[in-house]
């Protein structure tokens, strides 16, 4: 690096330091209501963005029932059907029992299971008990410790005896594993008998009786979830025809599992098994629309406010800008000081907003859990941090031309003559 | 003394030249400046202009202190602003160390000002959010002077003006006289060849003003200094006093 490069670098370090030092002093040593107002508005906007995105993610992700520990998840490819919030059932995978066996037999795959989720009204087998709704999750367990919908599958008898190679006439296991929330709701404990009334389209012989094989007290999710054998839920839930399931979860080597899943379901979405994947936002129309709306509103509000307050700050700061010019700071340097001040203020707001956003997600879950919803209605994700920062920086950059134009128009003579 | 502290070499060449009597540090040649030439129009549709300087010619040698006097609106400040390159006159030439300022771009004028001109304003114009030391170091930022060197130079200059113990104070924590001394130290940060001071004691009481003038005289000994003032005490430090009226030089003090 030659001398001029070194001097240029030192100059820009000096200008950045000058901008940050001025901002810091103004924030700390003066009653800088404008800086506080900018940080607050950006923070609130970014906080709302993060919270709404968290709600959208939960909407797309399906909540606790998708809390699996599988390595690969196969879901139906994106369709035009909106979320089930409006009562329209989402798309499902077909022929899952047979194709999943094919996946499970592939090299490098430890196990694979279709997962069917149906809300079911259960009642205690004793007379007079009122029916209560829980989310029934059908799986094909093996004897390894795995988790589907946040519950351990190995509490169920391995295999799926009722399936009987597609005839659904094998002996049912009649077992159910309850989450703590489900056990509370049903007032049931291990060994109790529960009745599941046949649902519309059921192929079985009517009500099914299940024995509580275990209650998972370790589950702290407030969604009432229960694991049952897949084929028994398919029969009672009307999903036996076509061997329907919501997803297929695969355990094993990622590459091998992914290849086997893609071969079995070439038109389906094959994702890594991480829960609450932000990419799932793109797969759900309503969730995507909500998060996109939050993004647009966030950018517009952030941009408008940052532009306005930064412009007002420049108006107040014209004399200082004129002094900088009078002592020989060139226009590029002066504009850089304005730009850095604006961006730093925006990023400070974003950092506070991220904290607010995560607090908002916690608060939304707490309020929803205490009132209307049994489980999490908003998810947090580490990706929200860079996402919020990028949105804030983008807003700051969009807002930037306004204060820069005002700063460039400052008349040094007018200001120093005052 | 400050020059030695700064260790800047940029001024020595021009000073040698000036000592040989070849070239004045500042030369204004028939400078005319009109305000409002592109400004507001009045009801009659005619454009109204105000002539701030009218055919002003002036030379200032290195080591010479020139006072500018005259009533308000006579053009004293405009002369200083023109010499500092803060305005480009409507007509005429301004040579600063043989550079024709009026022929330079805005960026080049800023560079010339940074390297060769120190400005002291009546109202100090310190940045309120920066400490005294940071204010003094400001002109060195654009030059790419490393932080540690900037701090050393600013501290030395503050000590030179008797404010070594006020380096970390904000302007709001300083008295008027102290602020003007900080402003003077800032004007000297780039070791300028030319120092312009616009009513440097205008906001100060008599005793404080006298202290600042003493300091100005001391640091201006080997520089070209232009001081604009209404005050006879302030002008008494000048080697000659130029009188302006209605933008014209009516007495160049020779």
CATH code, domain carrying B201: 3.40.50.300
Indicate whether B66 belongs to any domain: yes
Instruction: Using an 8 Å CB-CB cutoff, list chain B residues near A326.
Output: 84, 86, 113, 119, 121, 125
Kindly determine whether residue B186 and residue A6, on different chains, have CB atoms separated by under 8 Å.
no
pTM: 0.69
Indicate whether B138 belongs to any domain: yes
A242 conformational bin, left if phi > 0, alpha if psi -120 to 50, beta if neither: left
CB pairs under 8 A between A and B: 97
pLDDT over 50 (residue B14): no
Burial of A188 (0-12, 13-18, 19+ CB in 10 A): buried
Question: Residue B113: what pLDDT?
Answer: 92
Q: Kindly report the length of chain B.
A: 254
| pLDDT tens profile B124-170 | 899 988 999 999 999 999 888 998 999 999 999 999 888 999 999 99
Instruction: Using an 8 Å CB-CB cutoff, list chain A residues near B130.
Output: 18, 21-22, 25
A126 Cβ neighbours under 8 A, 6+ residues apart:
A193
Indicate whether B182 belongs to any domain: yes
Å between B239 CA and nearest CA of chain A: 26
pLDDT over 80 (residue B46): no
Indicate whether B204 belongs to any domain: yes
Å between B121 CA and nearest CA of chain A: 8
Kindly determine whether residue A331 and residue B106, on different chains, have CB atoms separated by under 8 Å.
yes
The chain B residue lying nearest A30, using CA atoms, is B129
The DSSP symbol for A54 reads H
Q: For residues A175 and A213, give the distance between their C-alpha atoms in angstroms, rounded to a whole number.
A: 6
Kindly determine whether residue A324 and residue B145, on different chains, have CB atoms separated by under 8 Å.
no
Chain A: which residues have CB within 8 Å of chain B? 6-11, 13-15, 17-18, 21-22, 25-26, 29-30, 319-320, 322-331, 333, 412-413, 416-418
Do B70 and B76 form a contact (C-beta atoms < 8 A)? yes
Kindly determine whether residue B141 and residue A14, on different chains, have CB atoms separated by under 8 Å.
yes
Kindly determine whether residue A18 and residue B141, on different chains, have CB atoms separated by under 8 Å.
yes
Kindly determine whether residue B111 and residue A331, on different chains, have CB atoms separated by under 8 Å.
no
A178 Cβ neighbours under 8 A, 6+ residues apart:
A134, A186, A188, A212, A214, A215, A216, A224, A225, A226
Instruction: Using an 8 Å CB-CB cutoff, list chain B residues near A328.
Output: 110-111, 113-115, 139, 142-143, 190
Indicate whether B30 belongs to any domain: no
Kindly determine whether residue A333 and residue B134, on different chains, have CB atoms separated by under 8 Å.
no
Q: Which of A3, A10, A328 to mutate to test the interface with B (most CBs of B within 10 A)?
A: A328
| Domain chopping of chain A, boundaries | 3-59+287-416, 68-274
Indicate whether B99 belongs to any domain: no
Instruction: Using an 8 Å CB-CB cutoff, list chain B residues near A417.
Output: 77
Nearest alpha-carbon partner for B93 in B64, B123, B56, B62: B56
Cβ neighbour number for residue A48 with a 10 Å cutoff: 18
Nearest alpha-carbon partner for B29 in B86, B95, B88: B95
Question: Residue A351: what pLDDT?
Answer: 95
A313 conformational bin, left if phi > 0, alpha if psi -120 to 50, beta if neither: alpha
The chain A residue lying nearest B117, using CA atoms, is A327
Q: How many domains does chain B have?
A: 1
> What does residue A116 show for φ and ψ, rounded to 5 degrees?
-115, 130
Q: For residues A76 and A94, give the distance between their C-alpha atoms in angstroms, rounded to a whole number.
A: 9
Looking up tokens 């950006």 gives A42
> What does residue B13 show for φ and ψ, rounded to 5 degrees?
-60, -50
Kindly determine whether residue B170 and residue A29, on different chains, have CB atoms separated by under 8 Å.
yes
B75 conformational bin, left if phi > 0, alpha if psi -120 to 50, beta if neither: left
ipTM for this model = 0.85
Strands of chain B (E only): list them. Answer: 26-35, 50-60, 65-69, 91-96, 99-100, 117-120, 194-198, 224-228, 240-245, 248-251
B142 vs A6, A11, A418: nearest CB: A11
| pLDDT tens profile B88-111 | 999 999 999 878 888 899 899 999
Instruction: Using an 8 Å CB-CB cutoff, list chain A residues near B141.
Output: 11, 14-15, 18, 329, 333
Q: For residues B96 and B91, give the distance between their C-alpha atoms in angstroms, rounded to a whole number.
A: 16
The chain A residue lying nearest B87, using CA atoms, is A413
B114 vs A320, A323, A328: nearest CB: A328
The chain B residue lying nearest A334, using CA atoms, is B142
CA B248 to chain centre: 20
| pLDDT tens profile B220-241 | 888 999 999 988 888 998 999 9
Q: For residues A226 and A184, give the distance between their C-alpha atoms in angstroms, rounded to a whole number.
A: 12
Kindly determine whether residue A17 and residue B130, on different chains, have CB atoms separated by under 8 Å.
no
Looking up tokens 């086997």 gives A260
The chain B residue lying nearest A329, using CA atoms, is B142
Å between A21 CA and nearest CA of chain B: 7
What is the full per-residue pLDDT of chain A (418 aa) written as tens digits? Answer: 567 788 888 889 989 988 988 888 777 766 667 788 888 988 999 999 899 888 887 777 665 566 677 788 888 875 444 444 444 566 788 888 888 989 999 998 999 999 998 888 887 766 666 788 888 899 999 988 888 888 889 899 998 888 877 788 888 888 999 988 888 888 888 888 888 877 766 665 567 888 999 998 876 667 788 999 998 888 887 888 888 888 889 998 888 888 988 888 888 888 775 555 666 666 667 777 877 888 888 889 889 988 998 898 888 889 999 999 999 999 999 999 999 999 999 999 999 999 999 999 999 888 877 776 555 678 888 888 999 999 999 999 999 999 999 999 988 888 877 7
Question: Residue A184: what pLDDT?
Answer: 86
Nearest alpha-carbon partner for B200 in B188, B209, B191: B209
Indicate whether B172 belongs to any domain: yes
Å between A365 CA and nearest CA of chain B: 44
pLDDT over 60 (residue B44): no
Q: For residues B57 and B251, give the distance between their C-alpha atoms in angstroms, rounded to a whole number.
A: 11
Question: Residue A148: what pLDDT?
Answer: 87
Nearest alpha-carbon partner for B160 in B117, B114, B216, B224: B216
C-alpha dihedral (B174, B179, B182, B188), degrees to nearest 10: 180
B127 vs A10, A13, A22: nearest CB: A22
Kindly determine whether residue B134 and residue A18, on different chains, have CB atoms separated by under 8 Å.
yes
Write out the residue range of the structural domain in which residue B123 sits: 2-6+61-88+104-251
């Amino acid at each position: 690096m030659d001398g001029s490069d070194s001097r240029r670098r030192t100059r820009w370090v000096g200008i950045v330091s000058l901008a940050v030092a001025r901002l810091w002093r103004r924030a700390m040593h003066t009653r800088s209501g404008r800086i506080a107002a900018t940080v607050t508005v950006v923070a609130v906007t970014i906080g709302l963005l993060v919270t709404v995105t968290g709600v959208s993610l939960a909407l797309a992700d399906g909540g606790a029932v998708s809390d699996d520990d599988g390595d690969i998840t196969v879901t139906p490819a994106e369709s035009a059907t909106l979320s089930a919030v409006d009562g329209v059932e989402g798309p499902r995978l077909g022929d899952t029992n047979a194709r999943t066996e094919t996946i499970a037999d592939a090299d490098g795959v430890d196990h694979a299971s279709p997962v069917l989720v149906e809300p079911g009204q259960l009642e205690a087998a004793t007379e007079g008990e009122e029916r209560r709704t829980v989310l029934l999750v059908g799986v094909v367990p093996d004897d390894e410790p795995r988790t589907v919908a946040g519950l351990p599958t190995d509490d169920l008898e391995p295999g799926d005896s009722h399936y009987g190679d597609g005839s659904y006439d094998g002996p049912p296991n009649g077992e159910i594993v309850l989450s703590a929330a489900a056990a509370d709701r049903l007032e049931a404990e291990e060994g109790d008998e529960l009745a599941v009334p046949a649902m519309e389209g059921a192929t079985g012989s009517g009500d099914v009786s299940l024995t509580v094989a275990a209650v998972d007290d370790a589950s702290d999710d407030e969604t009432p979830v229960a694991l049952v054998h897949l084929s028994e839920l398919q029969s009672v839930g009307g999903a036996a025809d076509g061997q329907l399931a919501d997803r297929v979860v695969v355990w094993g080597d990622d590459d091998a599992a992914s290849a086997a899943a893609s071969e079995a379901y070439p038109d389906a979405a094959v994702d890594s098994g991480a829960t609450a994947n932000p990419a799932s936002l793109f797969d759900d129309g309503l969730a995507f629309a909500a998060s996109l709306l939050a993004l647009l509103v966030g950018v517009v509000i952030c941009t408008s406010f940052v532009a306005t307050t930064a412009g007002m700050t420049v108006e107040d700061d014209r004399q200082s800008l004129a002094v900088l010019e009078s002592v020989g700071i060139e226009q590029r340097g002066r504009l850089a000081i304005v730009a850095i001040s604006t961006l730093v203020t925006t990023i400070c707001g974003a950092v506070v907003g991220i904290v607010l956003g995560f607090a908002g997600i916690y608060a939304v879950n707490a309020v929803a859990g205490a009132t209307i919803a049994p489980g999490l209605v908003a998810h947090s994700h580490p990706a929200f941090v860079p996402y919020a920062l990028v949105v804030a920086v983008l807003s700051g950059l969009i807002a930037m031309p306004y204060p820069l134009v005002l700063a460039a128009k400052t008349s040094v003579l007018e200001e120093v003559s005052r | 003394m400050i020059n030695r502290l700064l260790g800047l070499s940029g001024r020595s060449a021009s000073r040698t030249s000036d000592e040989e009597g070849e070239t004045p540090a500042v030369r204004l040649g028939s400078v005319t400046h009109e305000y409002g030439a592109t400004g507001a129009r009045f009801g009659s549709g005619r454009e109204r202009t105000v002539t701030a300087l009218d055919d002003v010619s002036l030379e200032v040698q290195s080591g010479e202190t020139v006072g500018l006097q005259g009533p308000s609106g006579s053009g004293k400040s405009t002369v200083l602003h023109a010499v500092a390159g803060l305005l480009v006159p409507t007509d005429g030439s301004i040579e600063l160390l043989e550079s024709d300022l009026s022929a330079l771009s805005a960026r080049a004028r800023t560079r010339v000002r940074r390297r060769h001109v120190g400005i002291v304003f009546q109202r100090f114009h310190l940045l309120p959010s920066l400490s005294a030391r940071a204010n003094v170091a400001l002109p060195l930022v654009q030059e790419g002077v490393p932080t540690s060197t900037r701090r050393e130079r600013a501290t030395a200059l503050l000590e030179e003006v008797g404010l070594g113990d006020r380096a970390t104070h904000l302007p709001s924590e300083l008295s008027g006289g102290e602020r003007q001394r900080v402003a003077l130290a800032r004007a000297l940060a780039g070791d300028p060849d030319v120092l312009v001071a616009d009513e440097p004691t205008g906001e100060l009481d008599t005793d404080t003003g006298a202290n600042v003038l003493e300091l100005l005289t001391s640091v201006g000994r080997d520089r070209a200094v232009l001081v604009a003032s209404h005050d006879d005490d302030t002008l008494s430090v000048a080697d000659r006093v130029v009188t302006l009226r209605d933008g014209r030089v009516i007495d160049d003090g020779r």
